[in-house]
Structure 1
Amino acid sequence: MHNPQVYALGIQPTLPLLFTFKTNPSLTMVYSENISKELRAPSLFISHGTGPMPLLNLDHESYRQLLHGHGKLLDGVKAIILISAHWETDEPHITSASEALAGFRDRGYAICGSGGSYHDFDAVAKAVFENQRVPPSAGAFEKFLEASAAVSDAAERRRLLLGWRDLPESFLAHKRGESDHFMPFLVAAASGGNQSGERYDMYYYKGAPMSFYRW
């Protein structure tokens, strides 16, 4: 990741290998009032965006959607860390850097990515306003993600996911030059270590799939 900034609440992590850490006390009120009701785990959030991503308010809709109905999977609040990064860098570098986040996971942090397994706003807009269905072949990309996530060997999972653009269906899920919403998935997958991941939830909107994964 290129020049990422990490904003930590109430802690200074002991793994400052990849990120610049800055304390932002002004977030404390937002954190305690809006997030702690649903989130019950020390957490690390990876936002999407082509960067530099502005620091999102923790009450931003993307975070509320991420947490709504999934907070029960997590337990025990300690801290939230927000990462705002430039995603234009090459994907192997993003994946290599993210593997170090396994250290956070091993210390009890929930590493949460705010992105999307499918992100084509033009197709969704046509579905909403013109009643056109999202191309069904987008589901083939979802099958690829589910199969890749289930691989327990970290090196093999990395190899599979770095070849995601070899699938023609990937361009239906994320248009050429607009893959920033997929990067949080790569970050989370790389931080999973040698542990099999699973798709634990999924829904469709006008034929557009959206999946939720955990390691």
Structure 2
Amino acid sequence: MLILNTLTILIQVVFIVFMSILSMNILKYFTGTLRTMATVAPALFVNHGGGPLPLLGDKEHAGLTVFLRDEVKKHVNLKELKAIILVTAHWEEDVVTISSGKHHDLYFDYYGFPPESYKYRYDAPGNPELANRIHEKLKNSGIDSKLDPKRGWDHGVFVPMLLINPAADIPIVQISVLNSQDPKKHYELGEALQEFRKEGIAILGSGMSYHNMREFRFGRNQDHVVNTEFDEYLTKVCTAKDEKSRREGLYSWRDQPGATEAHPVRAAEHFMPLIVVAGAGGTAQGERIFNWDMANTFRLSAFIWKGL
């Protein structure tokens, strides 16, 4: 009888332990699934401003500096990001070019600024493995590309990133835009990059939603916004509920009222990163997260796509 009772107790103990382990594994499975779902990284377009001015405390860039330094992190959980694929307006090539070094020095591609603006450091690591995977993905998508292990990170990279993530602890792969400035090719580039978001890798476009150098020099402080119509169009297509409207709206961007004033012909390189990011947005609806008038004249907008 004693042996039978002991055996019964042992069976009960084994059963309890088994059920506990099973419950823990089930819980681990579902929390792991939820964690995987939560790591989908955003596609985000930001304005980087004029040269190093957002870093130098320029009054006309104050709103942009605050956005990059304080507001971006409200929309992007930097701690969850495994890497950033950063498409910069300041690198134009015949084919998509991908930075592939373990480390990239800074490329100070501006002139006429104070000496301190040529002493910045941004020591975030590169990611050669990711660069090679992007290269392979583009190849499989029918998009010509090449790797570049040497070119430095230009100010389209380090100016916004010094404000967004001064810790410099997220690997970055810098990608060029195409000098053809073909909207279809840039949108398709974004579509090809979209799958990396599922791994917690953000797609960040760095450019300007308005970029007319002549007007920046001679048309400042007019006390009225000069690109209202174009900005309204841009907001409409980027926040469209269906991806088709977004795509078709950006394919035809050059035909929109105010487009040439916002981005002169053959000088639309600062608009291309936005088209790439929009292509990486998937079927999700975009959201405008920044809308500000630089020098009370030039309206700048930033957009994010959080879902797929």
TM-score, length-scaled by structure 1 = 0.71
Structure 1 position 113 matched with structure 2 position 202: no
Identify the match of residue 17 of structure 1 among 122, 130, 137. 137
Distance 1:56 1:172, change over 3 A: farther
2:153 aligns with 57
- C-alpha distance in 1, partners of 2:179/2:192? 17
Give the superposition deviation at 1:192: 0.6
Q: What letter matches 1:141 in structure 2?
A: F
Report which of the two structures shows the higher radius of gyration computed on alpha carbons. 2
Aligned partners of 2:225 and 2:293 also within 8 Å: no
- C-alpha distance in 2, partners of 1:200/1:180? 22
- C-alpha distance in 2, partners of 1:199/1:67? 20
- C-alpha distance in 2, partners of 1:152/1:107? 24
Q: Could you list the per-position Cα deviations for residues 45-74 of structure 1 after superposition, in whole angstroms to 9, with x for gaps in the alignment?
A: xxxxxxxxxx4436x3x33443465459xx
Q: Could you list the per-position Cα deviations for residues 76-132 of structure 1 after superposition, in whole angstroms to 9, with x for gaps in the alignment?
A: 95421001243215321222232111011222111111111000111111135xx5x
- C-alpha distance in 1, partners of 2:276/2:288? 16
- Matched length: 178
Pairing 1:110-189 to 2, within 5 Å after superposition? 110-128=202-220, 133=222, 136-189=225-278
- C-alpha distance in 2, partners of 1:201/1:210? 7
Identify the match of residue 7 of structure 1 among 72, 95, 99. 99
- C-alpha distance in 1, partners of 2:209/2:215? 14
Structure 1 unpaired stretches of 5+: 25-54
Aligned partners of 1:87 and 1:183 also within 8 Å: no
Identify the match of residue 176 of structure 2 among 59, 62, 84. 84
Structure 1 position 209 matched with structure 2 position 305: no
Identity, % of aligned positions: 26
TM-score, length-scaled by structure 2 = 0.51
- C-alpha distance in 2, partners of 1:80/1:90? 25
Distance 1:89 1:68, change over 3 A: closer
Structure 1 moving runs of 4+ over 4 Å: 68-72
Identify the match of residue 100 of structure 1 among 181, 192, 201. 192
Aligned partners of 2:288 and 2:301 also within 8 Å: yes
- C-alpha distance in 2, partners of 1:67/1:22? 20
Aligned partners of 2:181 and 2:269 also within 8 Å: no
Distance 1:200 1:169, change over 3 A: same
Q: Could you list the per-position Cα deviations for residues 127-174 of structure 1 after superposition, in whole angstroms to 9, with x for gaps in the alignment?
A: 35xx5x287341111111111111242232101111112212111111
Q: Which protein is richer in helix relative to its size?
A: 2
Aligned partners of 2:95 and 2:178 also within 8 Å: yes
Give the superposition deviation at 1:3: 2.1
